[in-house]
Chain A
Amino acid sequence: GAVVSQHPSWVICKSGTSVKIECRSLDFQATTMFWYRQFPKQSLMLMATSNEGSKATYEQGVEKDKFLINHASLTLSTLTVTSAHPEDSSFYICSARRATDYGYTFGSGTRLTVV
């Protein structure tokens, strides 16, 4: 149980286009989902926190208009990288918090490469 599916696992896009990454909790309701960015050989950097039905809360320094987050249901959150540029290339990981306890489940991550 407690599975989070993240898609796509990797994506290559052209500079200037937008890319959407999905994060789904398959067998539980996620009251809160988190989006992280991870640079090579570094730790996870929290980008934003999203709660179902409300606007995402972005961490300082994260561009809201660049990284659009939508948490439309208790099982789905999406991250859209708008007008992507090569510097947006990174590994993006989502995690979902179960309402029943403090356990978080992480998605398998999305490798974004902007060319």
Chain B
Amino acid sequence: AQSVTQPDIHITVSEGASLELRCNYSYGATPYLFWYVQSPGQGLQLLLKYFSGDTLVQGIKGFEAEFKRSQSSFNLRKPSVHWSDAAEYFCAVGAFPGTYKYIFGTGTRLKVLA
């Protein structure tokens, strides 16, 4: 079955500390992987995506993610967290080509301590 798992529901880090948000997927074909961020009461903003090629992808706002096929993971990282990074983060795998639907993880809520 196709699925995306984000094991951490909540994560709290201090401002300036490093961050890693975990994402594991189960998908039968080549995965198209995404990380989105959602601020309260807002839509989703794309942070980065992986389709192929270099397994370390850079995104906006200083985020990066590494695709590890052997571990079926696509973890999101940031070396130094800012207070404005507090939000909900969603990992998703896209059914491309085909239905073009996203399968979203359950999300990780990030809290940043001053």
List residues of A whose CB falls within 8 A of some B CB. Answer: 4, 6, 32, 34, 41-44, 46, 49, 91, 93, 95, 97, 102-109, 111
- State A91–B40 Cα separation when bound (angstroms): 11
Q: Can you show 14 pairs from A to B with CB atoms below 8 A apart?
A: A6-B43, A41-B109, A42-B106, A43-B107, A46-B101, A91-B41, A93-B43, A93-B44, A95-B44, A95-B102, A104-B46, A105-B46, A106-B36, A106-B43
Query: Which residues 94-108 of B have a CB within 8 angstroms of A?
Result: 94, 96, 99-102, 104-107
Total residue contacts A-B, CB cutoff 8 A: 51
Interface size for B (C-beta < 8 A) is 22
Give the A-binding residues of B (Cβ under 8 A): 32, 36, 41-46, 49, 51, 90, 94, 96, 99-102, 104-107, 109
Whether A111 contacts B32 in the complex (CB less than 8 A), given A41-B109, A102-B51, comes out as no
Q: A103 touching B49 by the CB < 8 A rule?
A: yes
Contact call B43/A97, Cβ cutoff below 8 A = no
On whether the beta carbons of B96 and A102 are closer than 8 Å, the reply is yes
CB atoms of B100 and A32 under 8 A apart? yes
Whether A108 lies near B43 (C-beta < 8 A) is yes
Which residues on B sit within 8 Å (CB–CB) of A93?
Answer: 43-44
B101 and A103 form a contact (CB under 8 A)? no
Q: In the bound complex, do residue B43 and residue A109 qualify as a contact, i.e. CB atoms below 8 Å apart?
A: yes
Q: Which residues of A contact B101 (CB under 8 A)?
A: 34, 46, 49
> Nearest Cβ in chain B — how far from A52, in angstroms?
14
User: Quick check: A102 and B43 within 8 Å, CB to CB?
Assistant: no
Residue in B41, B45, B94, B104 whose beta carbon sits within 8 Å of that of A102 in the complex: B94
Give the docked Cα–Cα distance between A11 and B36 (Å): 25
Query: Which residues in B have their C-beta under 8 angstroms from that of A95?
Result: 43-44, 102
Minimal beta-carbon separation of B51 from chain A (angstroms): 7
